[in-house]
């Protein structure tokens, strides 16, 4: 009987191991609204961060990052002009009251209250080093983890109100992980490498294990996906929401979680063509009913980051369906 108990404990520990990779189970791995492209375009839409924050917490906020005259700016393009806001001003100082209140309230089980998601438009080393330095100025706010000698050994996170994630660029890994000394703290976490294909339409035909090329590392802890991985042709070619697509979505999410990753899909919009508020058509399912079916499927499947440009609409939908 004792041997059976030991075996049961061993099996349970093996099964539970991947879950520890998912940001230590923070926020119970529940779905989070991801505010896509949450920054001004050409001086317009400067209220996006206020709109995103108004949806409540936790919330993920995407900031596209570029370089202007030696400064880290928030920009939709690498071709900056000088009108772009500084990352420190537009994001960090805007969220200061929220973060400082969270620190004062001292409820770590509710942290992070904000996930900061970087999408770099330029990966030149000076920009990456400058971003690392900006994060250093606010490190007391940020969820960190010590770098381990073995990258496949995930260290425990020190929770703070802000979690910073970035994407899969190897240039970013070089600065944000390889250049960090073992024992020093990681300030942000990258996404997994995914398979590269010549034709995006092929993504929906590949198995989850063919798409996801690696296990979590101390640095790479989440998996970023377009909708092409779910429905062939992505949003532009989407039709009626089908059982086969829902099964496909669940298979991708379940595979990510078994491997130990959080998973994101981008981007879930549904509006009449031409009626977006600075939103493009590339991510548009073309009607509210069409996107709501996919929002619900993503929520039920356990997608961790559900990206949308319709922040308030998704937040209300999540509340109505008891996910927020």
The 10s digit of each residue's pLDDT in 85-108 is 999 999 999 999 999 999 999 999
Query: Is pLDDT of 1 > 80?
Result: no
Query: Is pLDDT of 220 > 60?
Result: yes
The 10s digit of each residue's pLDDT in 270-284 is 998 877 888 989 999
Query: Is pLDDT of 11 > 90?
Result: no
Share of the chain above pLDDT 90, in %: 85
Express the helix, strand and coil content of the chain in percent, nearest 5 each.
40, 20, 40
Domain ranges of the chain: 31-191, 193-316
Question: DSSP readout, 30-41?
Answer: --EEEETT-S-B
Q: Are 162 and 112 in contact (CB under 8 A)?
A: yes
Query: Is pLDDT of 3 > 60?
Result: no
Closest CA to 114 of 103, 123, 122: 103
The DSSP code for 132 is: H
Angle made by CA atoms 64, 232, 37, in degrees to the nearest 5: 15
Query: Is pLDDT of 117 > 90?
Result: yes
**Model pTM score:** 0.93
Provide the pLDDT for residue 301: 97
Provide the pLDDT for residue 27: 84
Collapsing DSSP to helix, strand or coil, 52 comes out as helix
State how far the Cα of 25 lies from the Cα of 19, in Å rounded to an integer: 7
Provide the pLDDT for residue 26: 85
The 10s digit of each residue's pLDDT in 278-323 is 898 999 999 999 999 999 999 999 999 999 999 999 999 999 999 9
Q: For residue 282, give every residue at least 6 positions away whose Cβ sits within 8 Å of its Cβ, in sequence order, or none.
A: 234, 235, 236
CB atoms within 10 A of CB 236: 14
């Amino acid at each position: 009987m004792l041997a059976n108990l030991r075996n049961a404990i061993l099996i349970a520990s093996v099964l539970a191991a991947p879950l520890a990779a998912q940001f230590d189970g923070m926020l119970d791995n529940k779905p989070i609204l991801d505010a896509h492209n949450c920054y001004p375009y050409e001086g317009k839409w400067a209220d996006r961060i206020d709109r995103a924050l108004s949806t409540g917490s936790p919330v993920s906020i995407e900031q596209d990052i570029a370089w202007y005259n030696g400064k880290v700016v928030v920009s939709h393009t690498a071709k900056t002009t000088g009108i772009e806001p500084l990352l420190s001003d537009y994001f960090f100082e805007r969220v200061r009251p929220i973060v400082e209140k969270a620190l004062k309230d001292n409820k770590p089980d509710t942290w992070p209250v904000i996930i900061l998601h970087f999408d770099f438009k330029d990966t030149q080393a000076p920009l990456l080093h400058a971003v690392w330095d900006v994060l250093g100025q606010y490190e007391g706010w940020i969820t960190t983890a010590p770098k381990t000698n073995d990258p496949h050994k995930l260290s425990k996170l020190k929770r703070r109100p802000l979690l910073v994630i970035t994407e899969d660029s190897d240039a970013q890994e070089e600065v944000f992980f390889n250049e960090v000394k073992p024992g020093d703290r990681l300030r942000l976490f990258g996404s997994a490498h995914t398979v590269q294909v010549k034709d995006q339409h092929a993504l929906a035909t590949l198995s989850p294990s063919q798409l996801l090329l690696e296990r979590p590392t101390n640095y790479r802890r989440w998996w970023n996906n377009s909708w092409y991985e779910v429905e062939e042709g992505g949003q532009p070619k989407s039709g009626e929401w089908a059982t086969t697509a829902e099964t496909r979505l669940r298979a991708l999410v379940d595979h990510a979680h078994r491997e130990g990753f959080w998973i994101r899909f981008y981007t879930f919009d549904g509006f009449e063509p031409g009626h977006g508020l600075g939103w493009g058509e590339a991510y548009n399912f073309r009607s509210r009913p069409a996107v709501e079916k996919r929002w619900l499927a993503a929520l039920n499947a356990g997608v961790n980051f559900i990206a949308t440009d319709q922040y308030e609409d998704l937040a209300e939908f999540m509340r109505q369906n008891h996910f927020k």
